[in-house]
Amino acid sequence: MSTASDTPQMVDSNGTRAIAAGNTRPFFWSVKREIWEHRSVWIAPLAAAGVVLFGFALRTFHLPHLLRQAQTLEPGMRDAAMAAPFAFAAGAILLTSTIVAFFYCLGALNNERRDRSILFWKSLPVSDATTVMSKAFIPFVVLPLTAFAVALVTQLIMLLLGSAILLASGIQPATLWQHWPLPHMIVVMLYVVVINVLWSAPIYGWLLMVSSWARRMPFLWAVLPWLGLAVFEKIATDTSYVWSFLAYRFKGAMIEGFAPTADHHHHKFMSISDVTSALAPGHFLSTPGLWLGLLAGAIFIAAAIYIRRTREPG
């Protein structure tokens, strides 16, 4: 009769038991290992939130004056002025998460080959496909959800802090909540997170493939070929198709995911409610660039799995 001590086990880098061969959750434990080893996944968004909250805390001393000043503006400008700190907070946290995802993908597969720890991980009962997909799970799921949760909590703290300051000054905080309504805020933030992740699929896939292939300096191998193509095209043909393609791939989610509204053209400013009405998921899902990008991302990830299976460490 076999005992628990006879069961092969998978361990994390700290020597803690993570998975037994009889436990059919290698993907789950592989994802947990990534989170354990790459604490920037949650530390970076929290650090960004801390900076935002510190800045907002300093701003709250002038909040009553700013609120009175905003009431003298036209509706579009007033909505923009009231919503700006909250929109900036969400944007800063989501941007930080995106930067972390970029550099995480570059090092996810390269680091284990460079320090030869891949030999240890390959000795465990976890396939190359499971390992690569668990690493892809971080930028595609873990980081976006972490950023969304941190941004939401940060904005709630900002609303509560601002409300407390206004009440202490004898001003009703209803106006603050009215210009940044929670239901609309949650919908817009979640929508932005989802469309950016889907649109970024080929970027993350490309970075993972380069991370798996490059022996040294994956950043240069990931970036220089595209910059070289753009420079070569400009010199040879005096056109900028490559550069336009790259720009579209990086900002296309916000272009294709939102429809311009008449109010936006008239006022040049949009409230959070107006932004909600401008969401265009149907148009986004029907954009060829989205599906071609998802296909390219799948091809790149499949290539990363193949390279990890066949390439020697070092």
- For the chain, domain boundaries: 26-310
| Res 22 pLDDT > 70 | no
| Res 143 pLDDT > 70 | yes
For 221-287, give the DSSP string: HHHHHHHHHHHHHHHHHS--HHHHHHHHHHHHHHHHSB---HHHHHHS---HHHHHHTB-HHHHHT-
Residues 161-176, mean pLDDT to the nearest whole number:
75
Q: Which of 7-11, 83-87, 230-234 has the highest average model confidence (pLDDT)?
A: 230-234
- What pLDDT is recorded for position 260? 72
**Residues listed for the chain:** 314
- What pLDDT is recorded for position 24? 67
Q: Which of 33-37, 147-151, 184-188, 308-312 has the highest average model confidence (pLDDT)?
A: 147-151
Contact 100, 41 (CB under 8 A): yes
Strands (E), the chain: 9-11, 17-20
Percentage of the residues of the chain whose pLDDT score is greater than 70: 79
Tracing tokens 């030869």 back to the chain, one arrives at 116
- 215 phi and psi, to 5 degrees? -80, -35
CA distance 181 to 166: 17
CA distance 122 to 80: 53
| Res 174 pLDDT > 80 | no
Q: How confident is the model at residue 21 (pLDDT cuts 50, 70, 90)?
A: very low
Vertex 159: Cα angle to 153 and 164 (nearest 5): 125
Contact 34, 18 (CB under 8 A): no
Q: Which residue would you say has higher pLDDT here, 275 or 89?
A: 89
On average, the pLDDT of the chain sits at 82
Q: What is the pLDDT of residues 109-130, one digit of tens each?
A: 888 877 777 777 777 788 889 9
Q: Which residue would you say has higher pLDDT here, 115 or 145?
A: 145
| Residue 44 Cα distances to 47, 49, 206, angstroms | 5, 9, 23
| Res 6 pLDDT > 50 | no
Residues 229-254, mean pLDDT to the nearest whole number:
93
Q: Minimum mean pLDDT among 144-158, 174-188, 257-271, 293-307: which range?
A: 257-271
CA distance 281 to 294: 16
Q: How confident is the model at residue 11 (pLDDT cuts 50, 70, 90)?
A: very low
CA distance 95 to 54: 18
Secondary structure of residue 19 in the 3-state scheme:
strand
In a 13 Å sphere around the CA of 313, the CA atoms on its Cβ side amount to 12
Q: How confident is the model at residue 202 (pLDDT cuts 50, 70, 90)?
A: very high
| Res 75 pLDDT > 80 | no
Contact 98, 40 (CB under 8 A): no
Residues 210-219, mean pLDDT to the nearest whole number:
91
- What pLDDT is recorded for position 104? 95
Query: Count H helices, E strands: the chain?
Result: 17, 2
- 45 phi and psi, to 5 degrees? -60, -35
CA distance 196 to 203: 11
Q: How confident is the model at residue 97 (pLDDT cuts 50, 70, 90)?
A: very high
